[in-house]
Amino acid sequence: MGKAKQKHRVRDSATGRYASKQKSLPKTSASGFNGTLNLEKSAPALRQALLSWYGEQGRDLPWRRSRDPYAIWISEIMLQQTQVKTVRPYYQRWLAMFPTVTELAQAEQQTVLKAWEGLGYYARARNLHKAAQLIVEQHNGVFPREFEDAIALPGIGRTTAGGILSAAYDLPVAILDGNVKRVLARLVALPQPPAKAINRLWQLSEQILDPQQPRDFNQAIMDLGATLCTRHQPSCLLCPWQPHCAAYHQNLQSELPMTESRAPLPHKQIGVAVIYDNDGRILIDRRKQEGLLGGLWEFPGGKIEPNEAVEDCVKREIKEELDIEIQVNDRLITVNHAYSHFKVTLNVFNCTHLSGEPKPIECDEIKWVTLDEIESYPFPKANGQIIDAIKEQAMQNS
Ligand code: SF4
């Protein structure tokens, strides 16, 4: 293959191979990437550069001041899919409420869900609770040091286990969260989307990890991804890995990692009922344990069928789910919310209870509550907006 032709293709700097499908990628930079990244050879320099940058620029995060495996575990779970600034107050409050594994294990699930309210991905809270009980039963209340034991706990995958074991016990266990995937994909100019090269990325993360300082190294690479090697406009000129970075040398840092085109998220239209009884109390129900938002409370309702009027949907769903008759009144609020795999629009109506004793047909429990009592139940985020609208309406009416 002629030189001129090669110049326009992306080279995988760890293997030296050229990618076969590169139409979407730009030409290499004039600065010229003149070699492959020999990770074995470059690893010591990469480690040293990263660790010395981390020593000067690393973020001061509350969980980094702790060596308590329990506190570190909590932070790792909270940080999944959630930004540091959101996690900070939750982390502090959580440790004040449940200072030890044993206290978490002994808490009521509803208390645990309430403490998690607003953080999203509620399976994380349910799994933390279950895992705490297992740690008490099987590991004397101490987070296990063995990788196999850690990964056997609910809610703990490979990268979370690596994050906890390296941070808490300074064990050389690699991590591969979203930030690390992006940094490594750029470092070697990965010629395919990370999702298609997971094994390869794990291998890279293991090879590059500093066996002498795994705790600091893993924290440092996460910081690099969070602060310099960001998704948009990475700050390559400040980056300790710039001299070794294939993406930088090929001027591809803004194009990598490659992305897969995704189908648009499905959008569900939901009819929701805020049902009042004669005493002004409101009906809420607790979702089944299994599935999305399991164990949380909500206002009853369900999916609008094709060609169905939203008021008819609300009436039908309430009959099917609770076996009661209601009158559907005015629209209270419309709430749009996006989950990871779909979007919803909640069409919320004020309703009046007409007849029938509500039964928990499609849920675990139902309750009539006053507006003051509602605050003590854990609700999903989208329902929080409904509660605010109910309060505002109550204030206007009074
Ligand atoms: S040089 Fe740029 S693209 Fe490469 S690792 Fe550093 S910030 Fe990321």
Give the pLDDT of residue 41: 85
C-alpha 242 to ligand 1 mean position (Å): 6
Q: What pLDDT, on the 0 to 100 scale, is given for residue 11?
A: 46
Same domain, 218 and 311: no
Total number of domains constituting the chain: 2
| pTM for the predicted model, two decimal places | 0.79
CATH number at residue 351: 3.90.79.10
Q: Are residues 227 and 339 in the same domain?
A: no
Domain region containing 227: 39-249
**Does residue 374 sit in the same domain as residue 311?**
yes
% of the chain surpassing 70 pLDDT? 91
Residue 140 lies in a domain: yes
The CATH number assigned to the domain holding 81 equals 1.10.340.30
> Is 174 a domain residue?
yes
328: phi then psi, degrees, rounded to nearest 5: -90, 120
Q: What is the mean pLDDT of the chain?
A: 89
Q: Would 111 be classed as within a structural domain?
A: yes
Same domain, 292 and 233: no
Q: Assign residue 338 a region: left if phi > 0, alpha if psi is -120 to 50, beta otherwise?
A: beta
76 an active-site residue? yes
Identify the bridge partners of residue 366 per DSSP, sorted by sequence position: 285
252 lines ligand 1 (CB under 6 A): no
Residue 129: count of CB within 10 angstroms of its CB:
22
pLDDT for the residue 38: 79
Q: Does 160 share its domain with 221? A: yes
Q: Output Rg (C-alpha) for the chain, integer angstroms.
A: 26
Nearest alpha carbon, ligand 1 atom 4: 245
**Candidate list 56, 76, 325, 365, residue with the active-site label:** 76
Cβ of 272 less than 6 Å from ligand 1:
no
Query: Does a structural domain hold residue 316?
Result: yes
Domain-embedded: residue 257: no
Q: Are residues 162 and 122 in the same domain?
A: yes
Confidence class for position 36, pLDDT limits 50, 70, 90 = low
Q: Which two tokens stand for residue 233?
A: 């406009």
Name the range with the highest mean pLDDT among 4-13, 26-35, 336-345. 336-345
Q: Of 249, 278, 295, which marks where a domain is finished?
A: 249
How confident is the model at residue 178, as a pLDDT?
93
Band of the pLDDT at 341, cuts 50, 70, 90?
Answer: confident
Tens-digit pLDDT profile for residues 247-256: 999 889 999 9
Indicate whether 359 belongs to any domain: yes
Domain end, chosen from 214, 249, 284, is at 249
Which has the closest alpha carbon to 247: 1, 3, 83, 10? Answer: 10
- Using an 8 Å Cβ cutoff, are 50 and 217 in contact? yes
